[in-house]
Amino acid sequence: MKIFKDKQTLQKEISKTNGISFVPTMGGLHKGHISLIKQSKRFKLKTLVSIFVNPKQFNKERDFRNYPRNPKNDLKILKKLKINYLYIPKYKDIYGFKPKQKVFLDKFSKRLCGRYRKGHFEGVLNVVNRFIEIIKPKYIFLGKKDYQQLYLIKKHIERRKIKTKIIECKTIREINGVACSSRNLNLNKNQMKIASNIYYYLYNIKKKIKKNYNLFNINKIKKDLIDLGANKIDYLENYNIKNFKKLKKASKKFNLFFAYHIKNTRLIDNI
């Protein structure tokens, strides 16, 4: 595994390859990241992982400061996975140049997380656009847990006619059903139990809605989530995952999208 901390040295190295499989991360690596990396390695290109906690996608300074960081453990995991390249850029390396492509932000960015985290998706698309320009990957591997983010990145790539393909990867879950997330490290044992109960409650609700859409009573469901231990619900909505239109009748092609807080930790998921 070769480690790079500046883009010039990295670009010189990867220019010798016949293509890069890129896995962008903010560190705090977990089973979800490991799954993305293993999927990347199946494509038989050089695998490049980045670790960069992007300040521009945090709308609260406290959230940025509290984001879980564990660089020693991250290195241990990546060495074991035998990736080819690790890119750990400094802020100036990413933001010290003007990208050629202007970010395209689809109107769907105003819904779900976009309504509650002002500037979040602008920050995400900004950094992804810059990574693409630096690395020029053939493939980018993204998980479906952050489905809205995945959708918006895909729309940007399509609109700007960028020659990079997104590989969508399934959500990896803990044994208790909770979607793997770096933020889970901020939860204690009791809080993880709450998150597990919320997941299974919503999983069962979705099964019922498939048969009878009238059972989708948002106010009741939100009240039940509070009773289960959530401190605040940002949103609970359902969308057709093909066109991202809201569901109005019983259908099998939809996901429940939700974001909630347990104390100071915000969790998102879709099922």
Asked if residue 33 lies in contact with residue 58, where contact means CB atoms within 8 angstroms, the answer is no
Query: What is the C-alpha end-to-end distance of the chain, expressed in Å?
Result: 35
Known catalytic membership, residue 33: yes
Q: Buried b vs exposed e over 87-124: b needs ≥16 C-beta within 10 Å?
A: bbbeeebbbeeeeeeebbbbeebebbbbeebeebbbbb
Q: Could you tell me the two tokens for 229?
A: 């231990």
| pLDDT tens digit sequence for 205-257 | 999 988 888 888 999 999 999 999 999 999 999 998 878 888 777 666 889 99
Please report the sign of the dihedral spanned by the C-alpha atoms of residue 241, residue 242, residue 243, residue 249: negative
> By CB neighbour count within 10 A (0-12 exposed, 13-18 middle, 19+ buried), where does 43 fall?
middle
Q: Which amino acid is at 20?
A: I
125/131 Cα distance (integer angstroms): 10
Instruction: Report yes or no: 203 and 271 within 8 Å, Cβ to Cβ.
Output: yes
Q: For the domain made up of 182-270, give the CATH fold.
A: Pantoate--beta-alanine Ligase; Chain: A,domain 2 (3.30.1300)
* Distance (Å, whole) CA 172 – CA 36: 9
pLDDT digits (tens, 9 = 90+) for 168-186: 999 999 999 999 999 999 9
Task: Record the pTM.
Answer: 0.95
What are the extents of the domains in the chain?
2-169, 182-270
Tell me if 2-169 shares its fold with 182-270. Answer: no
From the candidates 30, 33, 120, 156, give the one annotated as an active-site residue. Answer: 33
In CATH, 2-169 is 3.40.50.620: yes
Q: What is the pLDDT of residues 45-64, one digit of tens each?
A: 999 999 999 999 998 898 99
